[in-house]
Amino acid sequence: MIKFHIGYFIAAFLLFITEIIIALYLHDSFIRPYGGDFLVVILLYCFVKSFFNLPVLLTACCVLLFAYAIEISQYFHLVKVLGLQNSRLAKILLGTSISFMDLLVYTLGIVLVIMVENLRLSLKKF
């Protein structure tokens, strides 16, 4: 079950760097709000798969549920409840306002993951 996979780790690292670049340098109304959210679930998926040899669908669903939970926690103002409203890092990681569009974007990111993984696994059989 626990197995290090360098390919997923490199992908997660590159996605993390991309997320940092988006956060620091893009201040548009499309890539930053939606592209970052689309990529973050892919990053989380790759990070989990870097260390755990779990089935694609299980991993993808768990990552998606985690992303949904973080987004829904914003409805309940979790950052404020935890007393972290002055923490920039907490506000970045946990967010401060719920967006139902984010839930859709997370879902689309995971759909892409499942499609790519299924394609990769079917090509591996040949």
Tens of pLDDT, residues 8-57 = 999 999 999 999 999 999 999 999 989 999 999 999 999 999 999 999 99
Reported pTM: 0.92
Tens of pLDDT, residues 63-97 = 999 999 999 999 999 999 999 999 988 988 888 88
Residue 26 tokens, joined? 């893009």
What would the 3-class secondary structure string for 29-90 be? CCHHHHHHHHHHHHHHHHHHHHHECCCHHHHHHHHHHHHHHHHHHHHCCHHHHCCCCCCHHH
